[in-house]
Chain A
Amino acid sequence: MLVVRGLSKAYAGARPRTVFAGVDLSLGPGDYVAVMGESGIGKSTLLNLIAGLDRADAGSIALDGVEFTTQDDDTITATRRRRLGFVFQAFHLLPYLSVAQNVGLPLTLQGGESEDSPRRVAAMLSAVGLGERGASMPRELSGGELQRVAIARALVHRPQLVLADEPTGNLDPESAGQVLSLLREQIKANGAAGILVTHSRPAAATADRILLLTQTGLREPNLV
């Protein structure tokens, strides 16, 4: 489903540096990988490239055989809107929308609400254990609850790929464990692929595979 070949990224400027080069990655439906690496190695950069939010210097990214790195911004955006889901470290819910409205935002962006939308939103909220909190505002929720809403938002539109960038970075260990379990469960249940970026080994262990990002690409880590 996702095929990344020879991806490279460098930053120009006063102090030019190569972030990474020669990254290869293949994911099929249901694949769930964790990407680890030292701080500043470019894990978030990799996610931004895959999401089409940044342009690689070399290499290709194809989703279901469609190479989208050469497409224009609007086309990439449309692809991202329909086929990707995001979970951020800082949750990033819109403060002026209710929990249900935040969860339904991807459906809204896809062209307004359909008759099916409320049902899907309710179903996702139930799946993440917040079925009764649809009318609440984000400021009324705890950190763990906010991240669960974010997971619901990431999956409500049935994306093919979920990108989670340090989703437990702002959570206590107990909440982190619950969120990671939920994330894996919902990715699998919706038949999506998932990439979890984390610097936490226990968090990475919840994925099917762990990959280590280095300057020369992705490889299996030596976990001894």
Chain B
Amino acid sequence: MSASQVSPARAVFAGALLENKARSALAVLAIALGVALGYAVQLITESAVNEQALGAQLLSGNADLQIRGPRRGFDEAIYAQLARLPEVAVASPVIEIDARLADRDDALQIIGQDVFRAAAVTPATGVVSGDRLDLLRPDVLFLSPAAAAWLGVGAGDRLRFQVALGVISLRVEGVGGVAGAGARQRFARMDIAGAQTAFDRLGLLTRVDLRLKPGVDVGAFRERLQAQLPAGLAVDRAQDTLAIAAGVSRAYRINMDILALVALFTGGLLVFSTQVLSVVRRRPYFALLRVLGMTRSRLVALLVAEAALLGAIGSSLGIPAGWLLAYMAERLTGPDLGSGYFAGVAPTLTLLPAALALCFALGVAAALLGGLLPALEAARAAPALALRAGDEARAFARLRPIGPGLTLLALATLCVFAPPVAGLPLFGYAAIALLLLGTLLLLPRFVGIALALMPIPRRAAPQLALAQLRGAPGPAAVTLAAIVASLSLMVAMAIMVASFRQALDAWLIDILPAELYVRANAGGDSGYMDAADQARIASLPGVLRVEFLREQQLVLDPARPRVVLLARMIDAAEPGRRLPLVRPALMPVADSAPPMWVNETMVDVYGFTPGKVVDIPLAGKSARFIVAGVWRDYARPQGAMVIERARYVALTGDEDATAAALWLEPGTTAEKFSAALRADVPGGARLDIASPGEIREVSLHIFDRTFAVTYALELAAVAIGLCGLSSSFGALVLSRRREFGVLRHLGMTRCQIGTMLATEGLLLSGIGLIAGLCLGTVISLILIQVVNRQSFHWGMAMSIPWSALAAAALLVLVLSTLTALVTGRRALGGDLVQAVKDDW
């Protein structure tokens, strides 16, 4: 086929893409950025979850069922009962300890097993030593390859662990013995009896793995067994345990996915803006093609394919970019992006074909959807009218009706009040999407109203600029779409994060009234203060008052993660002096169940509303409490309950404490007292001592690190928005070359035309800024009151970072005005005079 025989259709479409290389490139870049972010988030979080799941699966092996209980452990007598059940082929007892390393601020998971039973249930955790009897030795452990590499030790070395306030030493007998996923998990295995003895867990187990006999109905047996077990124990299938573990981080991962989708959505809006203006400019060409015989459906197909091509190119670039981003982010922040959900997991990034295909498809879909509306409008245009120059205004007429926009806003309002779906704020996300789309549809009307309210300037160039914008609010709204969307999302995230930070800071001040805080189990659960340690601490010179606390983790619902129990010294008549209550507490009543105070998660998830009488499992028995109050808690999204320590000790006999709050006598400084504590209390050097200020600083640092990825995604979205503004404004200016040619004929200087463009850019940017700020504020309300509440079950007051927002707004205004001016001036290049002669 010779050049002269190229179909006009191909010439129009391919020519348009090549003619507008810069705008096409910007659209491709926006899609690529959105896909890269989405894929990177998927790679990091899914790899970590998969690794976590594989690790758990490895350690579960062929177990049909697992019995779990409190984190500290349950009575090992259960094991003997389980092993004797006729349905059970093999029962493998397990004790799991997060053992705090004595020489570094970390913990290593120790798995104590009966090697023979374990081999029958979890063969993957097989023998690693030449001498099988080594596995029975109580003072040795076997490291996974990942643990050995992490700790920098090998066979023959010794590791020191903190137990209570003391230190024990264990020899590394071997490394390895697991392959594949197991090699990447950091853990150690040792004989169960040795683990129980070494870590003071005599008579306790944390898990029993069961392999059932062939033919046993697993589901039915599970139900029977659950009914027979003592309170506080749960029977799960191995895959249920995996789901529970993954569920802990689910809300966080979905939030990250949504943020990545935001970037992709903004990219799709950029494609929409580019395509709308490009299609309008080619309106007469399409009219000619229709006159020459092209059908509407073919025209739509070609235009949609054009948009999809942009998306495909963008996705192709975005996938490898996403891989690179994930690699860099993991090196910088770790596999959990700083959130702390996957501590101890060292995943290897894998391709994740499903995520790759999904992200690729989403990139194409975003571009395709962005091009669909303009394509449909182009096909609807009457050829005879569209052939006439000046028919472009008709293309934007469909943006005028406000019905669709108002409908979407109404739907968004309904979604705000909808409950969570499977614990996720899906309707909250839907409300945000509907609010965004509805506002974008109403943008032409908003632009029109804003422009109508502006006073008419005295000088010609700004006067014409205002007149031009007033005469054509549709194109202006299209130009603004991407920047309004990205700006509003940036504002929303900024307000949400600022509110959260402010709330966290205020909460920390409330929750830390003492002068010093001491922890024995920081970074693990093997440390604690026994009664003697507590007595020594309380009797140290300078102590005015000390309150000890015991932290436990209990299973309340087999389908959910463990909840935290805090047994602390608290005045039941005035719990608000120690807990940040969200509403006044119920006063204790004689003869009623003893009081318990729960965090907001316990209310939302477990229904522990004030006044409700509940049974919680303690020491294998049910203990009855009445919910006396609800307190705000940003540290334990899985749920937390507070009871009086004296009652806990009476019910369980457990006098150990994991933490203490200290008030000092006047004249006693925190530094001097800390030194005395470390020196005078045996094992005091292994206590973690911190002032409230230090705890606040560390907590806020962790908070900032957790949200670092959020900040990066926000910046990416704003960058895409600015690109959108540049691209759209350039296209608009290009479409008005004839107008500018006429103005040059009539005596307008280039400088005046530049002023006109700058004024248009400033007005548009200002309107976009106002729209973005207002919309962003409303979205932040939804994020705070709905999404956060339903995801993590915590409430917070809204706090607007005025100065930061003002600075960001000013920067965006300047950047977008400059962008519009530079782009417009560039588009004005060439022979404007000749443009006057053009019919089209």
Contact = CB atoms under 8 A, between A and B. Distances in A.
A53 B744 contact: yes
Contacts of B458: 112
Nearest to B392: A95
A96 B471 CA distance: 5
Contacts of B468: 94, 96
Contact of A95 (B463, B471, B748, B833): B471
Nearest to A51: B745
A74 interface: yes
Interface in B464-508: 464, 467-468, 470-472
A139 B394 CA distance: 11
B460 interface: yes
Contact of B467 (A53, A90, A101, A106): A101
Given A44-B837, A53-B833, A92 B471 contact: no
Contacts of B744: 53, 77
Nearest to B741: A92
Given A97-B471, A101-B467, A139-B390, A109 B747 contact: yes
A65 interface: no
Contacts of B393: 95, 139
Contact of B745 (A53, A74, A90, A111): A53
A136 interface: no
A54 interface: yes
Nearest to A44: B837
Nearest to A97: B467
Interface residues of A, number: 30
Contact of A105 (B389, B471, B746, B749): B746
Interface string A8-47: 0000000000000000000000000000000000001000
Nearest to A170: B839
B742 interface: yes
Contacts of A112: 458-460
A95 B747 contact: no
B123 to A, nearest CB: 79
A101 B742 CA distance: 15
A97 B470 CA distance: 10
Nearest to A48: B833
Contacts of A77: 744, 747-749
Interface in A72-105: 73-74, 77-78, 80-82, 84, 86, 88, 90, 92, 94-97, 101, 105
Nearest to A77: B749
A203 B204 CA distance: 110
A96 B467 contact: yes
Given A88-B836, A112-B459, A96 B472 contact: yes
A94 B742 contact: yes
A80 B745 contact: yes
A78 B471 contact: no
B829 to A, nearest CB: 15
A109 B747 CA distance: 7
Given A54-B833, A81-B747, A105-B746, A90 B839 contact: yes
Given A53-B744, A81-B748, A108-B460, 18 more contacts: A48-B833, A53-B833, A77-B747, A78-B749, A86-B745, A88-B836, A92-B745, A94-B464, A94-B467, A94-B739, A95-B471, A96-B472, A106-B746, A106-B747, A108-B464, A109-B746, A112-B458, A112-B460
Interface of B: 389-390, 393, 458-460, 463-464, 467-468, 470-472, 738-739, 742-752, 833, 836-837, 839
22 contacts: A44-B837, A48-B833, A53-B745, A54-B833, A73-B749, A74-B749, A74-B751, A81-B747, A82-B747, A88-B745, A90-B389, A90-B839, A92-B738, A92-B742, A92-B836, A95-B390, A96-B472, A101-B467, A111-B460, A112-B460, A139-B390, A139-B393
Closest 8 CB pairs of A and B: A96-B471, A81-B747, A92-B742, A53-B833, A80-B747, A77-B749, A108-B460, A109-B460
